Amino acid sequence: MTNITIKEKRFPLAEAEAVALEVLEQLKPYCIRAEIAGSIRRKKADCGDIEIVVIPKPYSVGLLEDGIASVINKWQRVKGELPCRYTQRILPEGIKLDLFFAEEGNWGYTFALRTGSADFSHKILANGWVRQGFKSENGYLFKDGERFEVREEKDLFRLIGVRYVEPENRNLEVITK
Give me the number of domains the chain comprises.
Answer: 2
Of the candidates 130, 59, 46, 63, which has an alpha carbon nearest to the alpha carbon of residue 99?
Answer: 59
pTM higher than 0.95 for the full model? no
The stretch 8-18 carries a mean pLDDT of: 94
Model confidence band, residue 1 (pLDDT cutoffs 50, 70, 90) = very low
- Is residue 147 domain-resident? yes
From CA 156, how far away is CA 159, in angstroms rounded?
5
- Residue-wise pLDDT for 136-175, tens only, equals 999 999 999 999 999 999 999 999 999 999 999 998 754 5
Which CATH number characterizes residue 145's domain? 3.30.210.10
Cα dihedral 119, 125, 131, 133 sign: negative
Read out DSSP for 135-166? EEETTEEEETTEEE---SHHHHHHHHT-----
Q: What is the pLDDT of residue 131?
A: 97
Which residue segment(s) compose the domain that 147 sits in?
106-174
* 75, pLDDT greater than 70: yes
- Is residue 5 domain-resident? no
Which CATH number characterizes residue 80's domain? 3.30.460.10
- Shared domain for 115 and 72, answered yes or no, is no
Q: What is the pLDDT of residue 173?
A: 54
- Is residue 1 domain-resident? no
* 44, pLDDT greater than 70: yes
- Shared domain for 32 and 84, answered yes or no, is yes
- Is residue 4 domain-resident? no
